[in-house]
Amino acid sequence: RRGDTRRKSRLRLESQLPQGCISPEDDDRKVRRREKNRVAAQRSRKKQTQKADKLHEEYECLEQENTSLRREIGKLTEELKHLNEMLKDHEKICPLLHCPMNFVPGTRPDSITNCLPR
């Protein structure tokens, strides 16, 4: 914290001095500070670009996965429709569904065999 006070007082003095009176030491310090700032800014921009690139790659992967999953949903929906149609067709001819023994309380499972075609 003490350095902050010295820096502020030095800056105040520099601003009061004419331009030609800045010491070479202060000029070198200013150049080093600008260079350090420039390098830090480059590093920051590079890091930000890398982060954006990574996010873009992740976005593209998720888009591909989403497309694949939608395709799979479509296939499964078609399969479900087909299986439902097969079930409806089977229900029309199923002897067990039309057997009168199914509606008698207390029937034993072996009595259902009487409903099966021989």
Per-residue pLDDT of 73-93, as tens digits, reads 999 999 999 999 999 999 999
Is 28 inside a domain boundary?
yes
pLDDT digits 0-9 by tens, 13-27: 555 545 556 788 889
Is 41 inside a domain boundary?
yes
- Of 89, 88, 91, 114, residue with least CA distance to 102: 114
Q: Which domain holds residue 93?
A: 24-98
Is 110 inside a domain boundary?
no
Q: 92 or 2: whose pLDDT is higher?
A: 92
The answer to whether residues 87 and 97 touch, using CB atoms and an 8 Å cutoff, is no
Is 72 inside a domain boundary?
yes
Mean pLDDT taken over the chain: 83
Is 19 inside a domain boundary?
no
State the pLDDT at residue 32: 96
State the pLDDT at residue 43: 98
pLDDT digits 0-9 by tens, 6-59: 555 555 555 554 555 678 888 999 999 999 999 999 999 999 999 999 999 999
- DSSP H helical ranges for the chain: 2-16, 24-93
Is 107 inside a domain boundary?
no
Q: How many domains does the chain have?
A: 1
- Of 6, 30, 104, 74, residue with least CA distance to 112: 104
Residue 104's SS3 state is coil
Amino acid 84 reads N
Is 92 inside a domain boundary?
yes
Number of residues written out for the chain = 118
Is 115 inside a domain boundary?
no
